[in-house]
Amino acid sequence: MPKILLVDDDDALRKMLRLILTKMGHVVREARDGQEAIEMCGQEEPDLVLTDIVMPGQEGLETIFALRHSKPNVKIIAMSGGGRISSTDYLQIAKSLGARRVLAKPFSSEQLSAAIGEALASL
């Protein structure tokens, strides 16, 4: 079963995504921000990191950049609903930093499943 690290500061969204991912058959760990995610990846490398972009503390773009340097083989999917700039802009930047797939919020469970399948296809 693929191990997914879910990174989002929104408790309700994290809980919902954890349920969906668990039903898909994934082992899910959770982090509330990028710093916590980096620490968790140092303990046990996940197969995939599903990270929000706009978060307090260490946000998603910094996290993607750090993971690309410390864990170059980990697959990353970035998700964003926007913030100060549009979600499209954030997601384009995330892709340029190394996210394999991107999801604009809100997204369906089918879109999530497809993105995960594509990102993990090489496992």
Alpha-carbon span 33 to 119, nearest angstrom: 21
Q: Domains, the chain, ranges and CATH?
A: 3-119 (3.40.50.2300)
What's the mean per-residue pLDDT of the chain?
Answer: 92
Q: CB neighbours (10 Å) of residue 23? A: 9
pLDDT of residue 1: 86
Position 88 confidence tier, pLDDT thresholds 50, 70, 90: confident
Alpha-carbon span 24 to 38, nearest angstrom: 24
pLDDT of residue 68: 95
**pLDDT of 84 strictly over 60:** no
Residues 6+ apart with CB under 8 A from 70: 38, 41, 42
Share of the chain above pLDDT 90, in %: 87
> Minimum mean pLDDT among 4-8, 47-51, 85-89: which range?
85-89
7-40 pLDDT, tens digit each: 999 999 999 999 999 999 999 999 999 999 999 9
49-75 pLDDT, tens digit each: 999 999 998 999 999 999 999 999 999
